[in-house]
Amino acid sequence: MWHQRQIRLREQRRGFHLVTREIAEALPELGQLRVGLAHLHLLHTSASLTLNENASPDVRRDFESWFDRAVPEDASYWTHTAEGPDDMPAHIKASLLGPSLTLPVRNGRFGLGTWQGVYLCEHRDRGGARSLLVTLWGEA
Amino acid sequence: MWHQRQIRLREQRRGFHLVTREIAEALPELGQLRVGLAHLHLLHTSASLTLNENASPDVRRDFESWFDRAVPEDASYWTHTAEGPDDMPAHIKASLLGPSLTLPVRNGRFGLGTWQGVYLCEHRDRGGARSLLVTLWGEA
Amino acid sequence: MWHQRQIRLREQRRGFHLVTREIAEALPELGQLRVGLAHLHLLHTSASLTLNENASPDVRRDFESWFDRAVPEDASYWTHTAEGPDDMPAHIKASLLGPSLTLPVRNGRFGLGTWQGVYLCEHRDRGGARSLLVTLWGEA
């Protein structure tokens, strides 16, 4: 059983955002899978997906603090600067975290740990609404 | 052919640990797959999985040295500090390396390079035993 | 429908290289898949794969600048130094970016965003030709 569906996520400001429920609600086919996988793939190069702690907004804020220091906007070595100071750091952050996640599915739901949630990591100041190509496959 | 199985890894001290054999031995179904994939998914947000060099313990020690410097415990910008100084760095490290790996399977074994081994990356001082949700699928 | 094929990529100098077309052309079976996935897995521990901007060579050069500063060759804490100063940083970079990518497939092609391309990230000074184990599966 295969399903492939492109979904459009709500526009978010720069930062780390919990989107597990938004994605699950856009996937009516998820409930039909007894065992399988879900591949979530962002069609962009300046935003990323990761799994992390789903309870404290503090954690998501600290993600932003760390990433902004690790990949500084004002580094003298950037040469790709035509699209603004947030662009090249956004590309690096996007690859450090990656554009896609593969999640286990069991009994019609994402098979995540108690504290795991999907983060949309928006690395641009104005990234706009991001598109996700989701592929679901498995057994009913 | 689908198999999904939750396994419990041996508790490890903080650091990087080679667990390829421990995982393979917990998956009796692996031997039945002629071609397929194995998705290994940690159900946690402060530990991660990666593939790297399977021979020298030096490499695993140097991983710890680099990650401890790249994500310092005493940074002034952490706000999520209630669970101890090792907690927030553990979340960042967990996302940099990621909670899951998809491994090719061929002829009943993981299809890895000669020098590739699976590392359990334990980022907490006392992380306890970690649980892995493994999904195997492919052709017999 | 399953296909598994090992391909040998052209040797590249140290740096970040766009290889989307080289990989697609080595996969004649790709055109048969209406919906599916492609798992690209490097059989090495000192090179990696990532998806990022496929237009500007500037972006790929800036990737190299950032990674070379983030993981310095001359750090005093490296203990695994027998294989040269570029070796241990290559292992760290390889895990930060990861050895594999899972790409959606639709209508016989990789289902990527307009600006997404596959980078081969060669972290060694002389890495040689790299081997990729590709697994394709899906529906015709």
Per-residue pLDDT of chain C (140 residues; tens, 9 = 90+): 999 999 999 999 999 999 999 999 999 999 999 999 999 999 999 999 999 999 999 999 999 999 999 999 999 999 999 999 999 999 999 999 999 999 999 999 999 999 999 999 999 999 999 999 999 999 99
Nearest CA in chain A to B102: A102
Work out the minimum CA distance from B69 to partner chain C, whole angstroms: 10
Task: Look at residues B83, B10, B20, B86 and name the one whose alpha carbon lies nearest to residue B49.
Answer: B20
Dihedral angle of Cα C25, C29, C34, C36, to the nearest 10 degrees: -90
In order of B4, B22, B122, C60, C67, the CA distances from C64 in angstroms are 39, 36, 28, 7, 5
Whole-number pLDDT of residue C59: 98
Percent of chain B with pLDDT over 70: 100
A138 in contact with B at a CB cutoff of 8 Å? yes
Inter-chain residue contact C4 with B139, CB threshold 8 Å:
no
Work out the minimum CA distance from B18 to partner chain C, whole angstroms: 14
C102 in contact with B at a CB cutoff of 8 Å? yes
Whole-number pLDDT of residue B31: 97
Whole-number pLDDT of residue B88: 98
Whole-number pLDDT of residue B83: 96
CB contacts < 8 A (A, C): 84
Task: Look at residues C59, C55, C30, C57 and name the one whose alpha carbon lies nearest to residue C113.
Answer: C55
Whole-number pLDDT of residue B51: 98
Collapsing DSSP to helix, strand or coil, B80 comes out as: coil
Cβ atoms < 10 Å from Cβ of B131: 14
Interface of B with A in 19-48 (CB under 8 A): 39, 41-45
DSSP C135: E
Over the stretch B19-71, which tens digit does the pLDDT of each residue have?
A: 999 999 999 999 999 999 999 999 999 999 999 999 999 999 999 999 999 99
Whole-number pLDDT of residue B107: 97
What pTM value is reported for the model? 0.98
Over the stretch A66-115, which tens digit does the pLDDT of each residue have?
A: 999 999 999 999 999 999 999 999 999 999 999 999 999 999 999 999 99
